[in-house]
Amino acid sequence: MTMFKRLRITGLVSMAALAVGIAGAVGGCGRAVGLADDGGAFDSGVPDSGVPDGCGNGTVEAGEECDDGNSVSHDGCSAVCGMEAPRWTELQPGTSPPAVANRALAHDPALGTVFFGGAHRDPNGAVIYHDETWAFDGVSWSGVAGSVPPARASHGMVFDAARGELVLFGGMNSDVSPYTFSDTWVLDGSGWLRVMGVPQPPARSWFGMAFDAARDVVVLFGGYSPDRAVGGDTWEWDGTAWLDTTPATSPPTRLGLSLAYDAARGRMVLFGGRDPGEGLLGDTWEYDGTSWVETTPGASPEARHSHALVYDAARARVVLFGGCAENGSLGCARWLADTWEYDGASWVETSPATSPPARRSHGLAWTGSRSLLQGGEGDGSNYLNDTWTYRWE
């Protein structure tokens, strides 16, 4: 018996049909053949590709630009021991989700990269909230039919790998009362379900949320709520209950922060946000499930809020893109387009040759082979719905 009810929304979502079309997800990583070249015509039955004999042994030898001790591409040194560079690539899907800020974006291996909600201002300045669910299969965005959570923005959504479902929490919609949500929803191949009958974290928006793959919990930190202003509390969802973990030390209260889980080091990484006095933050914190510790990286991105973090599993680094570096009358006055990577010791700006236009409040998700960026609010409060990928190649 489960300890809570999941209320299935009627008007069913055709996620099963959608999933059928998403086999393969975003492309693989093109591993080269013949890695163990012995000078003969074949290596273990694989045709010889001319890869240098020692590629993958960790020592740079004749004919190699690099050798990082593995035969994996997209980690900075390719499967054939060639140097790789960080690259943003704009995709050209035929249709795209609406141009909004503050949608949530998360990748489910079965469903694809899923988009939900968001908001934009119409020409009269009114904020319009969205309730659409879309999924990206690596080539095309498809709208997902059926009933969904109420329209909202500045919510959180992550893939819960232990339960095999997307988890959505909170957010806001100033057209309804109360205007900040404290509801939990899950999405799997059967559609959206609201999780009922369990205590929830207090209503909030503009918080950080990511999945801890070692402890199998969704971690939530901070955010904005009408009654408590700006939060500094840490909550965990284990698939049946939310727990306020009350660590002995915590980052200062904030909203507009971002979290990503560094699976190689087993640490939740937090960067930046906006403090209760509207000051911009540029600090980095790590959480191991017991306590938060502020790190002292050798270099850091400038202070900002409404940026996005994602964990690049190929490079074992947390990637940061964009955000807002100066508050303005409508929320932002300076939008960023910088890309940084964090390995636990330092932040390094990767400066790709091409980058997405500056923005804040965008979506960023790891798809299994690359990071995918979608939409946001760009320079001059221009709403975007472009789709980009980032990886080293």
Q: Which residues bind Ca ion (CB under 5 A)?
A: 68, 70, 72, 75, 77
Cβ closer to Ca ion: 71 or 245? 71
- Residue 75 or 377: the one with the smaller Cβ distance to Ca ion is 75
Residue 12 vs 72, nearer CB to Ca ion: 72
Shortest distance (Å) from residue 66 CB to Ca ion:
8
Give Cα separations from 330 to 125, 135, 223, 294, 381 (angstroms).
Answer: 10, 30, 19, 31, 8
3-state secondary structure of 96: coil
Nearer to Ca ion by Cβ, of 68 and 379: the residue is 68
**Shortest distance, position 213 Cβ to Ca ion, whole Å:** 22
DSSP 34-54: --S--SSSEETTEEP----TT
**Closest to 263 measured CA to CA, from 308, 312, 208:** 312
Min dist CB 316 to Ca ion, Å, is 11
CA distance 179 to 42: 66
Q: Under 8 Å CB-to-CB from 84, ≥6 apart: which residues?
A: 73, 74, 75, 76, 77, 78, 392, 393
In the complex, the smallest distance separating the C-beta of residue 72 from Ca ion, rounded to whole angstroms, is 4
Q: What is the Cα–Cα distance from 191 to 146, expressed in whole angstroms?
A: 8
Say how far apart CA 182 and CA 170 lie, in whole Å: 5
Place of tokens 């009358």: 329
CB of 59 to Ca ion, least distance (A): 14
For Ca ion, the closer CB: 77 or 260: 77
Identity of residue 374: Q
- The residue (of 78 and 245) whose beta carbon lies closer to Ca ion is 78
Residue (84 or 165) nearer to Ca ion, CB: 84
User: What is the smallest separation between the CB atom of 68 and Ca ion, expressed in angstroms?
Assistant: 5
Query: Which amino acid is residue 379, in one-letter code?
Result: D
Tell me the closest approach of the beta carbon of residue 75 to Ca ion, in angstroms.
4
Secondary structure element (H or E) that encloses residue 322, with its range: strand 317-326
